Structure 1
Amino acid sequence: MKLNSIGLDAEKAKVLASDLNQLLANFQVYYQNLRGIHWNIKGKAFFDLHTKFEELYTDTNIKVDEIAERILTLGETPLHTFSDYNQNAQVPVGKNVSQDEKAVKLIVDSLTELLKIERQILDKSAEANDEGTNSMMGDFISEQEKTVWMMNAWLSETV
């Protein structure tokens, strides 16, 4: 077994970097969705949602950078073109979303897709003994599960 510069199995690290590139592409589409709904939101919930969407896209921008830097740490090159992102993303694209419930539903649907990818990466990183990627995925998953819960609570009708 050949080890890379941080002591991981080089082949497993390459596979993880590829999976992280898929995650990166999905995060970039999610980020752009958040920017779009932040700019275009309308209605009585505007002030609250405009602020919340900015909070989410600011956090997502940080995560994009962390993912790209992890790919580099594993010895690979992060995707960095819109065509690569579009080709590799499963997150739904939200175009001209301005209605509050549609915007929040887009976030829930996007995070649900991101969580699937992150859990797959978590399984592989555990198998590869890659604590750096493991830790990052664990942190992302915990935060995103809470956001999904909060967004679903917002979407719920009270009785």
Structure 2
Amino acid sequence: MEIDEIDLKILQELQCDARKSYRKVAKNVNVAEGTVYNRIEKLKENGVIKGFIPDIDYSELGFNLIAIIGVSAEGGFLPDIEEKIAKKPNVTSVYDVTGEYDAIVVVKFKERKEMNKFVKDILSMERVERTNTMLALNVVKESHKIDLSSL
């Protein structure tokens, strides 16, 4: 799908507030409300927009432990392992990476006991060779938003 300037402006508006009305987005982008509706539907159909979710501060809900886990696995089995890990509760991200590890997993927990069980569950998975768990000391930035204005 080709993304034009209007699509980018609509995406920028939605990044600021995904609950913004089509009317308000149309006014800010300077196009008709129907155009905004059609563009958003097309962006959804093409997988550019995957959904609309609230930006939740999980630490306010008690999820104060953030673990970044490097996972090494036997070759050829990584996609299955990543898929299983991705389905586990508390997992916010799974990245297939280059470098020292095969995958990086980001997980949030309320208690160390939960994290301990999670890491041991990963290690007990067939074909997982090793893990390395790092704990985030402070969250400096955490966002799925990027600046689209330079595109």
Task: Output the TM-score relative to the length of structure 1.
Answer: 0.24
The structure in which a higher percent of residues are helix is: 1
Q: Say which structure, 1 or 2, has more relative contact order (CA 8 Å, 6+ apart).
A: 1
* Bigger Rg, which one: 2
Answer 1 or 2: which has greater strand percent. 2
**TM-score, reference length from structure 2:** 0.25
